[in-house]
Amino acid sequence: MVVGGWDLGDAVRVAEPEQVDVVVVGLGVGGEEVAGRLAEAGLSVVGIERNLVGGECPYWGCIPSKMMIRAANALAEARRVDGLAGTAQVRPDWAPVAKRIREEATDTWNDRVAVERFTGRGGRFVRGSGRLEGPGRVRVGDQVFQARYGVVLGTGTRPAVPPIDGLAGTPYWTNREAIEVEELPESLLVLGGGAIGLELSQVFARFGVRVTVVEAMDRVLAVEEPEASEVAAAALRADGVEIHTGVRAERVDHDGERFTLRGAGGVEFTGERLLVVTGRRAHLDELGLDTVGVDASQRYLPVDDRMQVTDGLWAVGDVTGEGAFTHVAMYQAAIVIADLLDRARHARAGADPSGTASVVGGAMGAASALSASGSSGSAGTVPRADYRALPRVTFTDPEVGAVGLTEEQARARGINVQVGFSKLADSTRGWIHRVGDEGFIKVVADADQGVLIGATSVGPAGGEVLSGLVVAVHGAVPVSQLRHMIYAYPTFHRAIEAALGNLH
Ligand SMILES: Cc1cc2nc3c(=O)[nH]c(=O)nc-3n(C[C@H](O)[C@H](O)[C@H](O)COP(=O)(O)OP(=O)(O)OC[C@H]3O[C@@H](n4cnc5c(N)ncnc54)[C@H](O)[C@@H]3O)c2cc1C
C-alpha cells in the first residue's frame, strides 16, 4: 500500500537481521573500548549508543569533575600561602572552570570526535537504544543485527534517586546538572556523603557556595576505613561544609526558589539547589534480557571471570556491579576483547567456539593475529578477572585512596588480621608540608599468609601513594619483603614503611 509516497508495507515489514561479528550496546568507557579494539582487529562490529559515545566519564563524571577539583585545589593551595610564603589574595571565579569543561572536556557535550574515533577504527556506529531480541540478536529502531560471535552490554548506570516524598517533580540536580553548571548557586544541599557527593561538595565550597551534606549512614565515605571518613569530614568542615550524618531524608519541598529537606526527627535544611548523589543503578529492565533467559530484576548483571553473562553474551563496566570505576571498565574490557577474539579465532578455525582453550598471546596478540593472519598465533590464555587489588580513589583534598579489604571486611571474613597505622604528619615529609598534611597510611595484613590484603592511603597525594600498596596487594608481596625495601626520603610514601613497622 502506497500513501503519499510512503510504502506502508515496507514500514511494517519485520526487518531481516543483518549478520555481523559482534554487537556492542552502550558505548561508554567499557563498550567503546571493546567495540573499537575488536573493530581494529578486523571483526565487523556494530556499536550502539543512545546518548554520547564515551559515556558518563568524559562528559559528566571523572574528567570534568577532576577539572573542577584541580581548580578548587588551586584555590586551596593559594589560601595556604599565608603563614608559609607570604600572603595571597584569592578571588574565585567559576567562569574559567565552566569554560574549560565546556570547551576542553566535553566539546559542549558533543561526541562527534568520539564517533569519528570509533568509525576510524573500522566500527559501524548506530545511534539509538539497543535491545536484545534473543540470543545474539539486537534491535535498534527498525534495524536488527545478528551477532556471529557475541553481544556485549556496556550500558552503565544512571543516578539512583531515592523515593523521598516530594522529591520527584522538583528541579533537583544529579551529577549531570552539577557538572554542567555555569553559574554557582549561593547555597547547595547535597544528599549523599559518598565519593561523588564529597568531591563536588568540597569543590563548590571552595568556590564560595554554602554547602550542607546530609548522609543517612553514621559517617561519610561509609565504604572506606572509619579513619578515612574522619579525615575527609574534618577537611570538608575546614572548607566550611556542614555535614550531618545519620539523617534519613523524609521529605523534599521546593517553593520555586529554595529547597527544604526534612529528615527523621524533625531536622530541616534549606538551600537554593539540591544535589542528589545517593548511588547509581543499572536499568536491566530495558535490555530485553528475558529473551536470552536472564533475570532482569537483579540490581546488576552478574558475570563470570571472563565477563560472560551467558553463552554469547558479555557485560562490561558499571552494569556488572564489580566496581563503578573507569579503571574497572577498562580492565574488564581487556578481558572481553581477549575472550571474544579467542571465540572468533576458534570459530574461524572450525573449533568449538564455546571451549575455554587458549588465545593468541592475550588481547593484543590475538588482535594482531586475527587482523594479520585470520586465525593463528602463539599460545596464551584469556585473562580472568581478579578484583582482590581493586583500587579506588576519592579525589577530595586530602585524597582518600584504598585497595582491597578494609579492616572490618577482613575481620568479617574470619581472617587473622593485623593492622598497621601511621600518620602523615609524623613523617618528615608531612612535617615539612605542614598546612594540608592531614592523612595516614593504614595497612591490613593476613597474618597467616604474611601478605597485605588491604590498605588505605589518605593525604595530599593519597591516590598516587596508593600505587605501591596496590602492587603489594596484587602481587601478594610478603610483608617481610615490604619491610626491607628502600623508601625514598623524604616522600609521603615513607609513611608506608612506618605503618608496616607497627603491624600488630
Ligand atoms: C561525578 C562522577 C565522577 C566520577 N569520577 C570517577 C573517577 O574519578 N574515577 C573513576 O574511575 N570513575 C569515576 N566515575 C565513574 C565512571 O564514570 C564510570 O565507572 C564509568 O563511566 C563506567 O563506564 P561504563 O562504560 O560502564 O558506563 P557509562 O559510562 O555509564 O556508559 C554507558 C553508556 O551506555 C549507554 N546506554 C545505556 N543503555 C543503552 C541502550 N539500551 N542502548 C544504547 N546505549 C545505551 C548510555 O547512554 C551510556 O553512554 C565517576 C562517575 C561520576 C558520576
Q: What is the pLDDT of residues 109-132, one digit of tens each?
A: 999 999 999 999 999 999 999 999
DSSP string, 136-171: TEEEETTEEEEEEEEEEE----EE-----BTTTTS-
Query: CA dihedral in degrees (113, 117, 123, 129; nearest 10)?
Result: -40
Place of cell 577530595: 396
User: Best substitution site from 62, 291, 320 to test ligand 1's pocket, by max atoms within 8 Å of Cβ?
Assistant: 62
Write out pLDDT tens, residues 125-166: 999 999 999 999 999 999 999 999 999 999 999 999 999 999
Residue 502, pLDDT > 70, answer: yes
How many angstroms separate the most distant Cα atoms in the chain?
84
DSSP string, 389-430: T-EEEE-SSSEEEEEE--HHHHHHTT--EEEEEEEGGGSHHH
Residue 357, pLDDT > 80, answer: no
User: Best substitution site from 68, 155, 395 to test ligand 1's pocket, by max atoms within 8 Å of Cβ?
Assistant: 155
What is the distance between the alpha carbons of residues 49 and 43, in angstroms, rounded to a whole number? 19
CA-nearest residue for atom 30, ligand 1, is 156
Check if the beta carbon of residue 436 is closer than 8 Å to that of residue 239.
no
Report the nearest atom of ligand 1 relative to the CA of 140. 42
Show Cβ contacts of residue 341 under 8 Å, excluding neighbours closer than 6 positions.
Answer: 38, 41, 43, 359, 360, 363, 366, 367, 370
Write out pLDDT tens, residues 277-301: 999 999 999 999 999 999 999 999 9
What is the distance between the alpha carbons of residues 46 and 30, in angstroms, rounded to a whole number? 15
**Predicted local confidence at residue 13, as pLDDT:** 52
Residue 372, pLDDT > 80, answer: no
What is the distance between the alpha carbons of residues 493 and 489, in angstroms, rounded to a whole number? 9
Quote the cell numbers at residue 178: 552539577
User: Best substitution site from 23, 37, 57 to test ligand 1's pocket, by max atoms within 8 Å of Cβ?
Assistant: 57
Residue 202 phi/psi, 5° resolution? Answer: -65, -40
How many whole angstroms from 25 Cα to the centroid of ligand 1?
Answer: 13
Please name the amino acid found at residue 13.
R
Report the nearest atom of ligand 1 relative to the CA of 157. 30
Residue 274, pLDDT > 70, answer: yes
Which of these ranges, 4-18, 19-33, 321-335, 407-421, has the smallest mean pLDDT?
4-18
Residue 101 phi/psi, 5° resolution? Answer: -65, -45
How many whole angstroms from 335 Cα to the centroid of ligand 1?
Answer: 18
Measuring CA to CA, how many Å separate 254 from each of 159, 170, 188, 191, 431? 20, 6, 13, 15, 47
Helix (H) or strand (E) holding 211: strand 210-214
Check if the beta carbon of residue 234 is closer than 8 Å to that of residue 219.
no
Residue 3, pLDDT > 50, answer: no
Show Cβ contacts of residue 257 under 8 Å, excluding neighbours closer than 6 positions.
Answer: 272
Question: For the chain, how far is it from start to end, CA to CA, in angstroms?
Answer: 82
Average pLDDT of the residues of the chain: 92
% of the chain residues with pLDDT over 90: 89
CA-nearest residue for atom 31, ligand 1, is 28
* C-alpha closest to that of 396 among 68, 60, 59, 56: 68
Write out pLDDT tens, residues 50-92: 999 999 999 999 999 999 999 999 999 999 999 899 999 999 9
Query: CA dihedral in degrees (27, 29, 31, 32; nearest 10)?
Result: 70
Helix orientation angle between 112-120 and 29-40, rounded to the nearest 10 degrees: 30
How many degrees, rounded to 5, is the angle at CA 59 between CA 53 and CA 61?
120
Ligand 1 environment, Cβ below 6 A: 25-26, 28-31, 48-52, 55-57, 60-62, 65-66, 129-130, 154-157, 175, 196, 286-287, 317-319, 324-327, 329, 395
Measuring CA to CA, how many Å separate 291 from each of 31, 133, 135, 502? 21, 6, 7, 56
Report the nearest atom of ligand 1 relative to the CA of 327. 11
